[in-house]
Chains A and B, each alone.
Chain A
Amino acid sequence: MPEVHLWSGLRALAGGREVVEVEGRTVGELLDALVAAYPALKEPIEAGVSVAVDGRVIASALNEPVRPDSEIYLMQRLRGG
């Protein structure tokens, strides 16, 4: 199962965990699984998160594939100038 790293600000919403294991083959499935496991994450995830998959920052594509051994980090959604 992929491990998802949360930024510290999210940890309080996920029972204090820094790393959460959830099932999913795409970014979208991971996010859905996260919200199912920790409903408090719904608000920040809906407000906009990017997902770093193996070092690549996925800003919005929910269909990006994820492998079981992928390195996954949630990040706040990018806004550029």
Chain B
Amino acid sequence: MNYYKPATFDEAIAIASGAEGITRILAGGTDVLVQMRSDIVTPDTLIDIKAIDGVKDITRAEDGGWTIGVAVCGAEISEHPDLPREWPGVVEAIGLIGSTQVQGRATPVGNLCNASPAADSVPALVAAGAEVTVQGPNGPRRVAVEDIPTGPGRTSLQKGEIITALHLPPRGKGGGDAYQRFIPRTEMDIAVVGCGVNLRVSGQVITEARMALGAVAPTVERVRGAADALVGTKLEDSALDALADLAQAACNPIDDKRGTVKFRTHLAGVYARRVAKIAYERARAAQ
């Protein structure tokens, strides 16, 4: 294994473009090192991007949104003075990844690139409408978070491409988001089902809605009908019923050691209701 610690993204891209065999980007390393230790993946090329300028920064974007550096760890996001207030669901979701120790290392972009369908931060980021900047030999492009994972452990990133920043849209007035997951214990588990909901309200009426589910399909699943079910409602029981039905219909899970198809599908409905209620209360409070 060759270890590189480039000073710029251009340098990192050049190394990744020219590398043979398996290449991994090292930021928090909480997935890469586990895979190495368990003999699942031993990269031929490991590119540590933490020496690149700006990767540890959280900055307010011109549009009022946020740009989060790719080496910013979960704990740094949770401790930020403004971000948790504006995007509580996203920050909670990131904060649920692993233990306190893992929070000191793990990054949301790493969580995204690991491409686990159960990644905690991803449903919340998808619901929030987050994007990433992907930079490669052909220059940078902005990509919606939901378009990065293509299957368990697989992403749409091409050879030589690296994610260089994570972008959250401006929160704006009347917006609220939430994320919850189901796990058997209270901590340290992989989500059996995760659910992120992001709403905007005007008065009591929902005007915008996005929902995404984790661990119910090969990739985190954006439930596109959520807006139809919720916009124009005051989150009455009928709206919650419709949302829960949509969530369950969106499920295409597998039976595995962490949960059965039936159990995951059932939970998707339960969590759609629970999380939507929290997001709704937050949105109403944010007017």
Q: Do chains A and B touch in the complex (CB under 8 A)?
A: no
